Amino acid sequence: MTQISERILVQAHLAGQQARQLTPAQEAQLRGEIAAELGRQDAVLVAHYYTDPVIQALAEETGGCVADSLEMARFGRDHPAQTLLVAGVRFMGETAKILSPEKRILMPTLEATCSLDLGCPVDEFSAFCDQHPERTVVVYANTSAAVKARADWVVTSSCAVEIVESLMDNGEKIIWAPDKHLGRYVQRETGADMLLWDGACIVHEEFKSKHLADLKALHPEAAVLVHPESPEAVVELADAVGSTSQLIKAAQTMPNPLFIVATDRGIFYKMQQLCPDKRFIEAPTAGSGATCRSCAHCPWMAMNTLDSTLQSLRTGSNEIFVEPALIPRAIKPLQRMLDFTQQARLSHAGNA
């Protein structure tokens, strides 16, 4: 699914990164320069949980945010800064631009993409939708602006089950794209009638149920936390399944002293910060013989570095543009998601 050229690009980037190991003094200097530049340019850093811990810490120190893709979108839209520096992968920058077309959206790199986005080209997806005109089109946030513009709803993993449940209650049948594992999980949770696109995340697909079962047996005191982009056999071994935010919440509320975590290891930064007395270990992957370096870390998220963050701010390069004609169409399904989740929050608060 992932193009060879994309892999070569990522590998070249990662090789360059290995060559540039920062000393603590260099790192502190870069952080200081980025913080000053953010202030000078009325900019705010919005980072995903899967980025390097140093980027997450910098976002927190400078008044930005570290969050899942839903909260990144909401934070960027509501923040008064005129420049959003989005550390994550390309669809996150595009989402920020769609929701805030008047703002300047920069990214540390424009080359950081996502296997789910790559695996769902708009022409093929549109043709698939055209074959099933009676179905409501629900796409995951990990898609291009053009695919979002073809959709009725955008969802993230933190609200997918609730949104699909409510569509099912309205008697709607669904086309789901692009992640087949998350789609299958949502289908199982809701019982909805869903046609699934055949996409997958190259990181989560590497988690192996057999090795996970062995590790769980070795640590009976541990709870297993699994992101639903993982294969079904891995999800079945979970003590808690959920989005990044939901897994962080589970780590805080579950009493276990140890957690085996099946999602990108970038999330350990926030988990450890919120649960300093607990331990977190990576769920096993296939190891070095597998695809995608099989390492529980997204190669595209790893392309966000302090160097590229500063470079982007200084030069104004890596600005995200979205075709203007797409914006009014792409904003509708995104806005539906934001309205739905806002409403759900209000009613939870009301019931509390």
Comparison of 203 and 223: residue with beta carbon closer to ligand SF4: 203
133 is in an annotated binding site: no
> Based on CB atoms, which residue is closest to ligand SF4, 201 or 241?
201
Burial classification of residue 33, based on how many CB atoms lie within 10 Å of its CB (0-12 exposed, 13-18 middle, 19 or more buried)? middle
Helix (H) or strand (E) segment spanning residue 43: strand 43-48
Q: Is 228 annotated as a binding residue?
A: yes
| Listed residue (234, 230, 231, 213) closest to 222, CA to CA | 213
Is there a binding annotation on residue 141?
yes
In the complex with ligand SF4, the residue whose CB is nearer, 44 or 292, is 292
Instruction: Pick the closest to residue 317 from 104, 61, 71, 19 (CA basis).
Output: 104
Closer Cβ to ligand SF4, 115 or 187, answer by number: 115
Residue 187 or 230: which CB sits closer to ligand SF4? 230
User: Distance (Å, rounded) from C-alpha 13 to C-alpha 20?
Assistant: 11
Whose tokens are 């997450």? That residue is 56
In whole angstroms, the minimum distance from the beta carbon of 266 to ligand SF4 comes to 9
State yes or no: cis peptide before 324, omega within 30 of 0: no
Q: Which is nearer to ligand SF4, 85 or 116 (CB)?
A: 116
**Least Å from the CB of residue 268 to ligand SF4:** 14
Q: Is 114 annotated as a binding residue?
A: yes
Report the nearest approach of ligand SF4 to the CB of residue 290 (Å): 14
227 has binding-site annotation: yes
User: Which contacts (CB < 8 Å, 24+ apart) does range 31-37 have?
Assistant: 31/58, 31/61, 31/306, 33/310, 34/58, 34/62, 34/306, 34/309, 34/310, 34/313, 35/61, 35/62, 37/310, 37/313, 37/314
Q: State whether residue 340 is helix, strand or coil.
A: helix
The answer on whether 27 is annotated among ligand-binding residues is: no
- Per residue, the 3-state secondary structure of 122-141, as one string, reads HHHHHHHHHCCCCCEEEEEC
Spatial separation of the C-alpha atoms in residues 323 and 125, rounded to whole Å: 18
To the nearest whole angstrom, how small is the minimum distance from the Cβ of residue 142 to ligand SF4? 5
Q: Is 142 annotated as a binding residue?
A: yes
Residues 300 and 10: their CA atoms lie apart, in Å, by: 7
* Least distance from ligand SF4 to the Cβ atom of residue 107, Å: 13
Q: Cβ contacts of residue 230 below 8 Å, gap of 6+?
A: 181, 204, 205, 207, 262, 263
Closest contact distance (angstroms) between CB of 234 and ligand SF4 is 14
Known binding residue 204? Answer is no
Query: Is residue 69 marked as binding?
Result: yes
Q: Which residues pair with 173 in a beta bridge?
A: none
Q: Where on the chain is the footprint of ligand SF4 (CB under 6 A)?
A: 50, 89, 114-116, 142, 201-203, 229, 264, 298, 300-301
CB of 237 vs ligand SF4, minimal distance in Å: 20
Pair 93, 105: CB distance under 8 Å: yes
Closest distance to ligand SF4 from the beta carbon of 43 (Å): 23
Rounded to whole angstroms, the Cα distance separating 153 from 159 reads 11
- Closer residue to ligand SF4 in complex, CB, 140/259: 140
Any known ligand binding at 166?
A: no
Cβ proximity to ligand SF4, 203 vs 313, nearer residue: 203
The answer to whether the beta carbons of residues 61 and 75 sit under 8 Å apart is no
Joined together, the tokens standing for residue 92 give 């996150």
Annotated binding site: 48, 69, 114, 140-142, 157, 201, 227-229, 244, 298
Annotated binding site for [4Fe-4S] cluster: 114, 201, 298
Annotated binding site for iminosuccinate: 48, 69, 140-142, 157, 227-229, 244
